[in-house]
Amino acid sequence: MKVNLQETPLENKRPFENYVVERNENDWVHCRLKDGYFEAFGRPKNLNEMLEYFKQWAES
């Protein structure tokens, strides 16, 4: 998942902590900010977790 934050109120929002969860080789999530984008990687079943982390950060 990749969300463009450029020219939005979230572009310079801080703090942000990378989110890394590795439960096992089939259940993992990584979220980060990079070059003006929120990026999240994981299995399709973890999409809700990625979206929830983005939402919590954006609303904090």
**Which tokens belong to 3?**
């969300």
* Residue type for position 12: N
Burial of 1 (0-12, 13-18, 19+ CB in 10 A): middle
Model confidence pTM above 0.75:
yes
Dump pLDDT digits (tens) for 2-50. Answer: 999 999 999 999 899 999 999 999 999 999 999 999 999 999 999 999 9
Q: Domain ranges for the chain, please list them.
A: 2-47
| 54 neighbors 40 (Cβ within 8 angstroms) | yes
Q: DSSP assignment, residue 44?
A: G
